[in-house]
Amino acid sequence: MPRQHVKLVPGVTVLGNLAIDVINGAPKSPGGCASFSGVALQAAGGHGHIVALAAEADHALFDALLDGFGSIVRILPADRTSAFRLDYVDVDHRQMSVDAIGPVWGKAEIEAADPDTTWVHLAPLLRTDFPASTLALLAERGHRVAYDGQGLVRADRLGPLVVDRHYPPELLRHLSVLKLAEDEAVIVADGPFDESTAKRLGVPEILVTYGSEGCDIYTDDTVVRVPAAWRVEGVQTTGAGDMFTSCYVANRAAGADPRRAVELASELVARELDRRLNAGSHEMV
């Protein structure tokens, strides 16, 4: 669809596959960025939407998302649903397995989602979720594209999760923002992540998150460390990265500069982790 045919409004649309998560052997629970980003978009305010893919047979698992966030969330049918097993060794370390590889977002899926916001945040669960051609299509429509870097390093293989740096370089070509967790950054850089790595990747804004140690922002050949809002210990953090990035992008879309957007995202994640800790449970949403 040519760019001039798409009228965009300030805001962000989160696109991604829903997932069926089994955490520490518990019953199936909603997973995928779309399961966690609603609270971030509500906190940020502004014009925000979530469009997700899952097999129709699994839609009932995600009814709570629709009940909790209403018109913010739209679930489109797909031929399958992503699925993962997550086993926490402790609150900071987990082992992951891929039980099902989710659908691929191509031209038809983008047209069905039809995002109308200036920003689009892509939340891949595996490397194949969003091909480079789809990123090019979104850029052609006029969107600024943010991308969760786990999509660079997670191979599309069943069984124990495989991570490597064999991503197609063209995935980076149309990005405005790339977010990497610390372990992902090491894989992408093939060693310590620094200014030279950021320059080589060529993405205008790169965030490298370090949990309770804060976040590095790489822009214009500079790097700034923004401390975490506060430390929350003793609670598992599934979905924290999704909430962080969704909140960051929503605030960037609303006009916040990168540092302020990181600060607001860090505060949101700390509040949500505190809520989990105080609830004394493993609730995810």
Summarize pLDDT for 43-72 with one digit per residue, the tens: 888 889 999 999 999 999 999 888 988 889
Task: Say what the pLDDT of residue 221 is.
Answer: 82
- Quote the pTM value: 0.92
Task: Say what the pLDDT of residue 91 is.
Answer: 61
Whether the CB-CB separation of 69 and 38 falls below 8 Å is answered with: yes
Angstrom distance (rounded) from CA 2 to CA 111: 12
The pLDDT-based confidence of 93 (bands split at 50, 70, 90) is confident
What is the DSSP code (8-state) at residue 152?
H
pLDDT digit string, tens, across residues 146-195: 999 999 999 999 999 999 999 999 999 999 999 999 999 999 999 999 99
Query: Would the pLDDT of 92 be above 80?
Result: no
Q: What are phi and psi of 65, to 5 degrees?
A: -65, -45
Query: Would the pLDDT of 109 be above 70?
Result: yes
Sign of the dihedral through C-alpha 251, 65, 8, 120: positive
The pLDDT-based confidence of 282 (bands split at 50, 70, 90) is very low
Task: Say what the pLDDT of residue 285 is.
Answer: 32
Q: Which two tokens stand for residue 167?
A: 């991503």
Chain-centre distance of CA 247, in angstroms?
10
Task: Say what the pLDDT of residue 4 is.
Answer: 45
Angstrom distance (rounded) from CA 257 to CA 252: 6
Mean pLDDT for the chain overall: 91
Angstrom distance (rounded) from CA 219 to CA 207: 9
Count CB-CB contacts under 10 A for residue 211: 17
Pick 94 or 67 by higher pLDDT. Answer: 67
The pLDDT-based confidence of 5 (bands split at 50, 70, 90) is low
Whether the CB-CB separation of 121 and 152 falls below 8 Å is answered with: no
Angstrom distance (rounded) from CA 146 to CA 88: 28
Q: Across residues 277-283, what is the average pLDDT?
A: 64
pLDDT digit string, tens, across residues 114-154: 999 999 999 999 999 999 999 999 999 999 999 999 999 99
- Quote the Cα angle for 15-19-23, to 5°: 135
User: Is 24 exposed, middle or buried (CB count within 10 Å of its CB: 0-12, 13-18, 19+)?
Assistant: exposed
Task: Say what the pLDDT of residue 70 is.
Answer: 86
Residue 206 amino acid letter = I
The helix/strand count (H/E) of the chain reads as: 9, 14
The maximal CA–CA distance of the chain, rounded, in angstroms, is 51
CA 143 → CA 3, 134, 248, distances in Å?
9, 12, 16
Query: Would the pLDDT of 284 be above 60?
Result: no
- Reduced to 3 states (helix: H, G, I; strand: E, B; else coil), residue 143 is coil
For 212-271, give the DSSP string: GG-EEEEETTEEEEE--S----SS--TTHHHHHHHHHHHHHHTT--HHHHHHHHHHHHHH
**Domains, the chain, ranges and CATH?**
10-279 (3.40.1190.20)
Task: Say what the pLDDT of residue 123 is.
Answer: 95
